[in-house]
Chain A
Amino acid sequence: MVLTQKLHEAFKGTVERITNPRTVSAFKEKGVLSISEFVLAGDNLVSKCPTWSWESGEPSKRKSYLPAGKQFLITRNVPCLRRAASIEDEYEAAGGEVLLDNEDNDGWLATHGNPKDNKHEEEENLPSMETLEIGKKNTIQSISSHFGGEEEEDIPDMAEYEEPDNLIETDPATLQSTYLVAQEPDDDNILRTRTYDVSITYDKYYQTPRVWLTGYDESRMLLQPELVLEDVSQDHARKTVTIEDHPHLPGKHASVHPCRHGAVMKKIIDVLMSRGVEPEVDKYLFLFLKFVASLQHISQMEAANLL
């Protein structure tokens, strides 16, 4: 971890300890959420997109300002198809795009529901939480995950422990799955699917939601967070997307840094309001996930259909 990042984390931690959580709504003014608004928006997400659920996480990491059973939101097993599928059509279909420029001109692209639609339709137009489609850029051969790799020189070669054939009987009723073939196929026509557990926590310092990614390879082995960064454009890995301690789960996880979330959400809200759509705070997480899914910074996941 970079030193400045560490210092900032320490500073942020201190501020979080001594400040009271936000209780007054500043959703329209600043694009941020109070604790109760976060819970409200989370409840709405869970009811509209039931693949999301509230969890309580590690008891020792529980935040007292959030209800014990509603510490963070999670959806598991979001596939990330590693193939060169063009997703632009899908974007067009989901409604226009707004380029939200910022000072350092790397342009945060945020899609939004077609603003002409009424609210109900806007919801219908939200992209589906089906797939995180990943560009072809990824190097398939580097899927070592935690299995093998130079770090694990101490681990004995498992092949020598291969069981005699009589352990697993040949059972005619067991489907011999293609994804269980012994050899990694080389040709790119075969789908290799990483999956992600995506969680949303409340960041008390920035007063916004924050997104975390935990990756699994195609045989559902945990991916090192570094390998998650492979799915992130290299220009932005470790800048916008960093690897940090999850506030409610053990271990290091990849996260979209929330420092600009408030500002971007504010812009999205302004755009909606300028088009006569009154944003509702319980829809915040829908807008937020659309924004995260469309981040150019994590371009390999730009089609992340998080809803």
Chain B
Amino acid sequence: MTEKEKGSVLQFAPFQSAVDEGFWHRLSSLKLNKFGIDDSPIPITGFYAPCTNSRVSNHLSLIAESLPPEPSEQSSVATSLGNRNRCSVPGILYNTNTLEGFHSLDKQCLLKAEAKKIWDDIHSGKAEEDSAVLSRFLLISFADLKKWSFHYWFAFPALVLDPPATLVDLKPASQWLSLEEAESLSAACNEWRSSSVTADVPFFLVSIASNSRATIKHLKEWTSCQQDGDKFLFGFYDPCHLPTNPGWPLRNFLALICSRWNLEKVCFFCYRENRGFADLSLSLIGEALISISQGWKDPQQVPNAVGWELNRGKKVSKCISLAQSMDPIRLAVSAA
């Protein structure tokens, strides 16, 4: 650890998006039957869960229920609140009427606007009440309903620490903790994840007392629990599976921790699962040092943000064609 003491830049694995067919079906139907040419932004919801496999990261999923219900479906059942496999992430959709409109959107400006929401929620204390607002996302799209193809581009806005945080140490949680602590933390996490009240709360605080007992608390309990823990961890549901890096949601959490709680040394806990249960050898605990510049401390000044998703390493939008399942002519031909 000593040779690492100088530290390297803490790097975060980008979030990945996955959109299922149902999302595009409902978007098309809403566009045709409800929105028409109205292209005002639509609030949508993405879903994610902690990584649950050592070989593949989890991603942000969009499904039909990510969109508002169709006019004919007002009697929709209450969405499964507290579904542990569906932690909601608030997002916004800009669906343009033309391909030109899609390409001419001011992407930097849109990203900044979302970053400002995150920044404001951090400073107003809203993020401590409802931690889901720390991971917003942005989707721009053009639905070509003549060809049944959809052009789209995701952004996961992250506030950029200036200068970047340095990583002092990062290892599997099972190595960082004693056996008793790890067992207690495992049990506490499983309890947190199985209660419908907390199952979809993606950011949390962990304090580990001197008797090795781990307790998980909500962010809003920060002021009351500073004193009691001997070890204190900032935990989040980590969609990333890599043993070498934390996932994207930690970025805005660190922004909250350093700008709102003024911490310079942070122990973070990347919570990951195996087969749906806490796995502390897959989960990571890391120590990061943050020394932000003076300008960062000013709530009026929104920091820089990054987060447009790359498409196979390139800065291009994605496109999907669903003509096979949506085009009535093709459907008629295949049914003949």
Contact = CB atoms under 8 A, between A and B. Distances in A.
A1 B313 contact: no
B251 interface: yes
Contacts of A172: 9, 11, 164
Contact of A220 (B16, B21, B334): B16
B21 A191 contact: no
Interface stretch (B125-133, B176-184, B204-212, B314-322): B314-322
Nearest to A6: B335
Interface stretch (A98-106, A158-166, A276-284, A292-300): A158-166
A174 interface: yes
Interface stretch (B224-232, B256-264, B304-312): B304-312
A251 interface: yes
Given A49-B276, A147-B319, A249-B22, A152 B61 contact: no
B160 A171 contact: yes
B324 A161 contact: no
A173 B12 CA distance: 6
Nearest to B325: A251
B301 interface: no
Contacts, number: 188
A127 to B, nearest CB: 10
A55 B321 CA distance: 26
B11 A250 contact: no
B74 to A, nearest CB: 9
B250 to A, nearest CB: 10
Interface string A72-91: 00011101010000000000
Nearest to B149: A155
A47 to B, nearest CB: 9
B94 interface: no
Given A50-B84, A51-B52, A152 B22 contact: no
Contact of B53 (A131, A180, A181): A131
A69 B85 contact: no
Nearest to A74: B85
Contacts of A219: 16, 311-312
Contact of A161 (B103, B108, B313): B103
Contact of B251 (A169, A173, A183): A173
Most B Cβ at <10 Å: residue of A1, A60, A168, A216:
A168
B107 interface: yes
Interface string A56-78: 10111000000011000001110
B193 A50 contact: yes
Given A53-B85, A216-B18, A219-B311, A81 B55 contact: yes
Most B-side CB within 10 Å, residue of A51, A56, A69: A51
Interface string A18-44: 000000000000000000000000000
A7 interface: no
Interface residues of A, number: 67
Contacts of B324: 151, 224, 252
B323 interface: yes
B215 to A, nearest CB: 22
B9 A79 contact: no
Given A49-B275, A158-B319, A173-B11, A131 B55 contact: yes
Nearest to B59: A220
Interface string B26-57: 10000000000000000000000100111110
Contacts of A114: none
A51 B103 contact: no
A81 B54 CA distance: 12
B194 interface: yes
Contacts of B315: 162-163, 165, 167-168
A64 to B, nearest CB: 13
A130 interface: yes
Given A51-B52, A158-B316, A173-B12, A151 B321 contact: yes
A77 B16 CA distance: 12
B80 interface: yes
B18 A79 contact: no
Most central of A58, A76, A224 by chain B CB within 10 Å: A76
A76 B314 contact: no
Given A155-B149, A175-B13, A250 B325 contact: yes
Interface of B: 9-14, 16-22, 25-26, 49, 52-56, 58-59, 61, 64, 69, 72-73, 75-77, 80, 83-86, 99, 103, 107-108, 147, 149, 160-161, 164-165, 193-194, 242, 245, 251, 273-277, 304, 306, 308, 310-325, 334-335
25 contacts: A6-B335, A50-B193, A51-B52, A75-B85, A79-B55, A79-B56, A130-B55, A154-B149, A155-B321, A158-B311, A158-B317, A159-B314, A161-B316, A163-B316, A165-B315, A167-B107, A168-B310, A169-B304, A172-B11, A173-B12, A180-B313, A182-B312, A214-B20, A219-B311, A222-B20
4 nearest A-B pairs in the assembled complex, by CB-CB distance: A50-B276, A182-B313, A79-B56, A250-B25
Given A50-B277, A69-B77, 20 more contacts: A53-B85, A58-B64, A130-B275, A155-B149, A162-B316, A163-B107, A163-B315, A173-B10, A173-B251, A174-B14, A175-B11, A177-B13, A181-B313, A182-B313, A184-B312, A214-B20, A216-B18, A249-B20, A250-B21, A251-B25
Interface of A: 1, 6, 49-56, 58-60, 68-69, 75-77, 79, 81, 128-131, 146-147, 151-152, 154-156, 158-159, 161-163, 165, 167-169, 171-175, 177, 180-184, 191, 193, 195, 197, 214, 216, 219-222, 224, 249-252, 307
